[in-house]
Amino acid sequence: MEKIYLIIALSPLVGALIAGLFGKQIGRAGAHWVTNIGVGISFILSLYAFYMHVWGGLPTYDATVYTWAATDAFHFDVGFMVDRLTVLMMVVVTSVSLMVHIYTIGYMADDPGYQRFFSYISLFTFSMLMLVMANNLLQLFFGWEAVGLVSYLLIGFWYKKESAIFANLKAFIVNRVGDFGFLLGIAAILMYTNTLDYATFFERLPVLASVKVEYWPGVEWSLPTVIAILLFIGAMGKSAQVPLHVWLPDSMEGPTPISALIHAATMVTAGIFMVARFSPLFEMSDAALSFIMVIGAITALFMGLLGIVQNDIKRVIAYSTLSQLGYMTVALGASAYSAAIFHLMTHAFFKALLFLAAGSVIIAMHHEQDIRKMGGLWKYMPVTFITFLIGSLALIGFPGTSGFFSKDSIILAVHASQLPGATFAYWAVLLGVFVTAFYTFRMFFLVFFGKERMDAHTRSHLHESPKVVTVPLILLSVPALLVGFFAIDPLLFSGFFEQAIVVMPGHDAMANLHEHYHGALAMMGHSLNSPVFWLAIAGVALSAVMYLIMPGSLPAMFAKVFAWPKRVLDGAYGFDDFNNAVFGGGSRLLGRGFWRIGDVRLIDGLMVNGTAGVIGATAMKWRKLQTGYLYHYAFVMILGLIGLMTWIVFLR
């Protein structure tokens, strides 16, 4: 199987290199064929690996491919750990990536950077596969940074747009903040266990349980808590949790296919996967789990509220990603790791579907993204309309859709959790259901129903997107609608993940859920009497009243009554203003200070000009000794001779 794992990881890389280095030679068609074939091979072989590990009885594969560096104390290896958690992630990553690759053929058809874009997205897939297949922290960090690098390139793909350059720099800098904590966590693991290998680290974890560290006099911290929080800080950056979330909405500056990749199958899910992979560590610290749960709850509710005031179709979906990542993070904090991965999987399908359907709308609207300038598109774009509806229903957790099973499982698990912060988290994710339903169907109704608000030229050219765009939408709508129904029992209640995920008995919130679970159909029926369902219905109903029944007066009234909260939401709680003032302005101020003190005064003033000035002044003094008169030189020679004789006679 080792050769198969290598092919899975390297096929997208080969396609990326060919498209990137030989794009002019192979042309546009060659670029999309070679990258699509590469990702397609990875997808088919990932399905085979999934089958072998789940139904074929194949045990966990954990082996080193080669040693990257070795010292007397440490070995730094490149290798694969392929278990059931890994193969699930491999299938999700490659399947969504393949759909995005096919969709890109139509979406980017007229873009001059066609070959470059295919090279980047294929490289993105390779990076994510290296991350999820890693068996050690060195390779994990390589994949972690590689997806960050390629996201930087893709967010700023249209590099002539100033807003795109600002967005990719923002993503790069914010992720460096999280990565600083992540690196400290990795360094602590290496320092205290002398290994970066997952299996060896997990074996040595019990020894760390009693280790205390003191960073402030008199204040002791449990070492597992410190390492867990440091690693989670990295996840906060990569998976966009408050306050390191600010880069994700701006990532919409990249083309729509990369929005789907970043928000669905790659990068933002890396932090969720990492915490689940390191569940044996996080289970040793109630403090770390509570911290994770509270951060996730804040993100789930308050980032969802921001979706209400967005008018850019992609930004509405982007804020929904932030909110749904919050749900996954809450599940991690409640030790419901399987529910978090379950929601990661279902979210990958319906969020990719929503982004690609939004891209289809954008194509039809001649790249107009303001939902206030749309309306009535259902009759022009029936396929996009139906697939967008499926994605929207899955996002709000409507019974029967994939999002229903995964989101409801998270809410129920958090309700059963006994950890500090669980009560706050439960109410946050519960209220988040109403908020999600409201902003999702606000977007849906404004885009597809009501008055046609586009200009006459755009209206006259409205039509359904080509099949190369709609076929991926149809294919993604199937798992977005059905995968939750078939996957809930094996993933949550039948021990699917085996030893890949570890939960301590005192933290097992999923056990309580298991006691009351009587099948997917029974769960759907029971949900009709739950507050989750009625909150979702209330959100849809309110959006229908405001934007279909009373589209003019009611939104205006709400805007007037809630003027102050709306200003807060429009300003995104002031995070961007704070960052621009403190970090942006502060950094520029600090830079100017260093420039004036260090460059102008110290280097230029003292070292360069000052040295030259001293030498010049000294030379001016010494040149006066060079008079050109012979008797002056004879006099100096006599004085020198007298001095030399005095030293020999009296001082030697």
Q: Has residue 475 got a pLDDT over 90?
A: yes
pLDDT reading at 607 higher than 80: no
pLDDT of residue 25: 92
Tell me the average pLDDT across 396-423: 94
pLDDT value at residue 556? 77
Alpha-carbon distance of 182 to 190, in angstroms, equals 13
Share of the chain above pLDDT 90, in %: 59
Per-residue pLDDT for 573 more than 70?
Answer: yes
Q: Are 54 and 500 in contact (CB under 8 A)?
A: no
Rounded Cα distance between 401 and 13, Å, is 34
**Given pLDDT bands bounded at 50, 70 and 90, which one contains residue 652?**
low
**Highest mean predicted confidence (pLDDT) among 584-588, 610-614, 635-639:** 635-639
Give the other-Cβ count within 10 Å of 628's Cβ.
6
Pairwise pLDDT comparison (251 vs 625), residue with the higher score: 251
**298: Cβ contacts below 8 Å, ≥ 6 apart:** 242, 326, 428
Q: Does position 136 have pLDDT exceeding 90, yes or no?
A: yes
Q: Phi first, then psi: give them for residue 215, nearest 5 degrees.
A: -100, -25
Asked if the model's pLDDT at residue 265 lies above 70, the reply is no
Does the model's pTM come out above 0.75? yes
Residue 66 has pLDDT above 90, yes or no: no
pLDDT of 341 higher than 70 = yes
- Decide the pairing of beta strands 212-216 and 75-82: unpaired
In the predicted model, what is the mean pLDDT of residues 532-549? 93
CA 523 vs. chain centroid, Å, equals 31
Q: CA-to-CA distance for 520 and 488, rounded, in angstroms?
A: 7
H helix runs in 134-214, sequence order = 137-155, 162-193, 198-208
Mean pLDDT score across all residues of the chain: 89
* pLDDT of residue 39 exceeding 80: yes
Q: Give yes or no for a contact between 197 and 77, defined as CB atoms under 8 angstroms apart.
A: yes
Asked if the model's pLDDT at residue 634 lies above 70, the reply is yes
pLDDT higher than threshold 80 for residue 651 = no
- CA atoms of 508 and 495, how far apart (whole Å): 13
- Asked if pLDDT for residue 517 goes beyond 80, the answer is yes
